[in-house]
Structures are given as C-alpha cells and as structure tokens.
Amino acid sequence: MKKIAILHGPNLDRLGKREPDVYGHATLKDLEQLIRREARRLGYGVTFFQSAHEGALIDRIHALTDRGIDAFIVNFGAYSHTSIALRDALSASGKPAIEVHISNIKKREKFRHHSMTAGACRAMISGRGFPGYVEALERIGQYL
C-alpha cells in the first residue's frame, strides 16, 4: 500500500474558527476524516502532521522520507509564500508532492499570489476547498 503524508502548516489547526468566510466552518479533524475515507477508497495509507513551526515541518519531511514515504500532499499555509527551506526539503526528498490551498491564492492579497514551495511540487490545487485534497489524492497516483 502506498503511503501519503499530509502536511499542514501554521493556522490550519484553526480551521473552523479562523476566517470562516474564507475557509468555512469545518475543522482540521473534519478534513482529516475526509482524506482518510478517500485514501481508503483509493488504496492509500495516510499520515498527518500539522505544525506552526517551519523547522518542525522540515524535520518531518526528512523523517518521513527516511522512513520510505511515497508522496506528500502539503498545505504549508503562509510558509508557502516565503519558505525556500521548505521548498528545498521537499525537493531533497525526491518524492512527488502536490500543494493544496483551500482558498484561491490568486484571489487573495497580492503577497499570496506566488508560492515559493510550489516549485518543488508536481501540481498545485488552489481554491477548491476541502475537495482540493481529494483531487490531490486522485492525482498523486500518476506520479507514483
């Protein structure tokens, strides 16, 4: 069974409370339940990690890579727009990754329009809400 790591960055743990007009009322736990259900349907195992700390996310990428993870689906939140270090960690993993954003970053503030980390990913899905993660799960198989 292929194993997919789902990594979430800062403020994703605030889903359901943070800006519900942008992100909706569902929680990170709700999102993880959706992902687990869809991963089972597709025959994948999934593991989850969320942190507001850039270094913790980098350490997790390295650890998962060393343990043989097959692919990553990432939403690094605001770090997507600023972190060369996360981009480098994903690139160094040698594993396929898809970046997901719940909101459409092109329709947000100008500083959010560019993702630094997307360059280390095979695709970016933006603005599709939680279903964007399902799409990422469905698409990741073409890279495995």
Domain ranges across the chain: 2-143
Whole-number Å distance between alpha carbons of 8 and 13 = 8
Q: Which two tokens mark 4?
A: 């997919």
Is 23 annotated as catalytic?
yes
Is 101 annotated as catalytic?
yes
Active-site choice (79, 81, 101, 133):
101
17, burial (CB in 10 Å: exposed 0-12, middle 13-18, buried 19+): exposed
**pLDDT, tens digit, for every residue of 47-81?**
999 999 999 999 999 999 999 999 999 999 999 99
What fold does the segment set 2-143 form as a domain?
Rossmann fold (3.40.50)
Active-site choice (23, 44, 79, 133):
23
87, burial (CB in 10 Å: exposed 0-12, middle 13-18, buried 19+): buried
**pLDDT, tens digit, for every residue of 11-57?**
999 888 877 777 778 899 999 999 999 999 999 999 999 999 999 99
55, burial (CB in 10 Å: exposed 0-12, middle 13-18, buried 19+): exposed
